[in-house]
Structure 1
Amino acid sequence: MARTGNMTVRVHCQKTVAATDELGNPVPGGGKWETQFTVLAAFEPKTGGEQVLAGRLQGVQAYIVTIWQSEDTRKITAGWRLVDADNPARTFNIRSLFDPDSRRLKLEMLVEHGVAS
């Protein structure tokens, strides 16, 4: 478990929003990522791994990310992603979320860096 005193990384919490055409009709596959809010987070690296994607070996790094729970952060689901506010090239796909002590103070997420969004 990452220590809350180490919450020094600013991350944008993003989800996809549906794209619409000029008539307001949904465009399949046209959604784009939009930042909903920005929070401080602590990252604890887990054992890295490799996956075969598109016939090539890709390095994948998993992290446990800890943030404070709030009305906003309780909206996060596994369909969202995190983006490093200081380095937008670092994106993290959220795989699972959990409340480590069931007290609704902190939210921990298993995320992966190095896989397609």
Structure 2
Amino acid sequence: MARAAGAAIGRLRRRLTLEAPVSTPDELGGVTQVFEVVAAFWAQVEWLAGAEQWRQGRPEQVGTHRVTLRWRGDLDGGKRLRDGDRIFDIRTVADPDGSRRRLVCLAEEVKP
């Protein structure tokens, strides 16, 4: 039985942490959003494309990556992945063949 190239366990060489947003009320009636670590796992991170975008009046470099990992049910857009100092905002999550063996995420890495 042939395996898909992205599914080989030996390709999952990067240790990433999954972070979820947590909102806490502040003293002025608003909320402050911070991220807390939910899990850690091995993944494959592949560069897809890069661009420069203007956000809030300043240029930022944006890199799009494909992140492949073993299937898990707690990944969705709005969460983020961390690789040391690098942060990847999850944009989409898909189970490519519906077998619940692996997930493929498209994520953006933003550098100011």
TM-score (normalizing by structure 2): 0.83
Show the 5 A alignment for 1:36-115.
Answer: 36-69=38-71, 73-84=72-83, 87=84, 89-114=85-110
1:51 CA displacement: 0.8
- Corresponding residue pairs, total: 106
| Cα shift readout 1:45-76 (whole Å, capped 9, x = no counterpart) | 1011121112222111000000101xxx3111
Structure 1 segments of 4 or more deviating over 6 A? none
The residue identity in structure 1 corresponding to 2:102 is: K
CA distance in structure 2 between the aligned counterparts of 1:78 and 1:8, rounded to whole angstroms: 23
Report the CA distance shift for 1:6/1:53 in structure 2 as closer, same or farther (over 3 A).
same
The residue identity in structure 2 corresponding to 1:62 is: T
Q: Output the aligned Cα RMSD.
A: 2.1
Report the CA distance shift for 1:2/1:43 in structure 2 as closer, same or farther (over 3 A).
farther
1:3 CA displacement: 4.8
CA distance in structure 2 between the aligned counterparts of 1:29 and 1:107, rounded to whole angstroms: 32
1:9 is aligned, of 5, 14, 21, to 14
Report which stretch shifted further, 33-42 or 45-54.
Answer: 45-54
The residue identity in structure 2 corresponding to 1:78 is: G
